Chains A and B, each alone.
Chain A
Amino acid sequence: MTAKRLLIIISASFAVVVLGWVALIGAVYAWGGVATVRVHDQQEGLNIYVPVPMALVDAAVATGAIVIPEEEWLDLDVELGEWGPMVRGLLKELEECPDFTLVEVEDDWTHVKVYKQNGSLKVEVDDQDVTVRVSVPIRSARRTLSRLTRFV
């Protein structure tokens, strides 16, 4: 095997791995989008950004159904079961609404905004020192909740 041929094989393998990852990430995004949490604390110099692919959340719920003992699910049933259908229904309504601001509270120090934008429910908190941004794809959240309540 010539060096040139070896180089081609390595390059091709590398390309397959990269493309595979790209395809996987694309599929994860396409499947349910990504929930994100961003926290910035100026005083502490803290900067956190956590993207959570909703497909992974679904997978976790599915795995949890197998791994977690039934009694634990029943506890969850007590806490969530009663209100689960209502929350699911509200998320469905929210999904069908146009983009809008649900709640906005502001005073001299703090600004909190909960709003819908491009299919996601977003929460913004701006304090003197801390900035928090949360974004959750509504459709995926509803699907996950459906799975969760179906298990319980």
Chain B
Amino acid sequence: MRIRVPILFALLLLCLGITGSAVATDLWLHVRVEENDGTKVKVNVPITMVEKAIAMVPQEHLRHGRIHLDDCCDDLTPAELRELWQEIKDSPDMTFVTVEEDDESVRVWKEAGYLKVQVREQGDKEKVDVQVPLRVVDALLSGEEDELNIEAAIQALVEEGEGELVTVTGDDERVRVWVDNIAEAD
């Protein structure tokens, strides 16, 4: 499973986007990428810096910490997305999506305040695990009409505190994104 640079970048942006604010003084966002050829990438960002960056991004790029949904989603209208989210939020902990194929399985479920996504390819050789606190998604969708409220999502994530966000284990690379209170954690 080859993690392409744009995907990683988008992943990082997403995490930068959903990470940061009010009590963020001691929290750090970490990204680690390790490839089998020996390449290692480490990124450590204080969340206060993320907050600052998002608050100060010029308005034509990010208006008051919000972006338009139509900039990022082709398949769902904002209203449909909110409706879908409302149903997920109101439901008890359960599995929403299960896809089983010969060499791939996907599962999306809700558990203990988190929305979790698990992808397994070729047995357990390639794994993707994503977990996002529900309140973060909730805050993200709290913008008006077609807006995603990045600032609110950041605040929600900061209130959540430390935790794993993304883990990808592939044939030839491993990616980990998490939040904690250590400047250079590993």
Which residues 31-50 of B sit at the A interface, judged by CB distance below 8 A? Answer: 37-46, 48-49
A101/B39 in contact, CB under 8 A: no
Tell me if A103 is interfacial: C-beta within 8 Å of chain B.
Answer: yes
- CB proximity of B46 to chain A, nearest CB, Å: 5
Tell me if A10 is interfacial: C-beta within 8 Å of chain B.
Answer: no
B43/A93 in contact, CB under 8 A: no
List, in ascending order, chain B residues with CB within 8 A of A104's CB: 40-42
Which DSSP category, helix, strand, loop or mixed, fits chain A's interface? mixed
B44/A83 in contact, CB under 8 A: no
B56/A100 in contact, CB under 8 A: no
List, in ascending order, chain A residues with CB within 8 A of B38's CB: 106-108
A93/B40 in contact, CB under 8 A: no
> In the complex, A98 Cα to B39 Cα: how many Å?
27
Name the interface size band of chain A: 20 to 34
Of A86, A100, A107, which contacts B57 at CB under 8 A?
A: A86
List, in ascending order, chain B residues with CB within 8 A of A107's CB: 37-40
Tell me if A105 is interfacial: C-beta within 8 Å of chain B.
Answer: yes
Tell me if A94 is interfacial: C-beta within 8 Å of chain B.
Answer: yes
Tell me if A20 is interfacial: C-beta within 8 Å of chain B.
Answer: no
Of A85, A90, A94, A102, which contacts B43 at CB under 8 A?
A: A102
List, in ascending order, chain B residues with CB within 8 A of A106's CB: 38-40
List, in ascending order, chain B residues with CB within 8 A of A92's CB: 52
> In the complex, A102 Cα to B44 Cα: how many Å?
5
Tell me if A89 is interfacial: C-beta within 8 Å of chain B.
Answer: yes
Of A89, A101, A102, A105, which contacts B40 at CB under 8 A?
A: A105
A93/B48 in contact, CB under 8 A: yes
> In the complex, A89 Cα to B46 Cα: how many Å?
13
List, in ascending order, chain B residues with CB within 8 A of A96's CB: 48
List, in ascending order, chain B residues with CB within 8 A of A83's CB: 58
Of A82, A89, A98, which contacts B183 at CB under 8 A?
A: A98
In the complex with contacts A94-B49, A107-B37, A108-B37, A101-B44 CB distance below 8 A: yes
Tell me if B53 is interfacial: C-beta within 8 Å of chain A.
Answer: yes
B56/A86 in contact, CB under 8 A: yes
Closest B residue by C-beta to A93 = B49
List, in ascending order, chain B residues with CB within 8 A of A94's CB: 49
Tell me if B184 is interfacial: C-beta within 8 Å of chain A.
Answer: yes
List, in ascending order, chain A residues with CB within 8 A of B46's CB: 93, 97, 100
Of B48, B52, B184, which contacts A100 at CB under 8 A?
A: B184
> In the complex, A106 Cα to B42 Cα: how many Å?
9
A103/B52 in contact, CB under 8 A: no
Of B39, B52, B183, which contacts A90 at CB under 8 A?
A: B52
Which residues 92-133 of A sit at the B interface, judged by CB distance below 8 A? Answer: 92-94, 96-108
In the complex with contacts A98-B183, A102-B44, A103-B43, A93-B52 CB distance below 8 A: yes
List, in ascending order, chain B residues with CB within 8 A of A99's CB: 183
A-B contact pairs, 5 of them (CB 8 A): A83-B58, A85-B56, A93-B52, A100-B46, A107-B40
The 9 closest A-B pairs by CB, nearest first: A86-B56, A100-B183, A107-B39, A104-B42, A93-B49, A82-B58, A89-B52, A89-B56, A93-B52
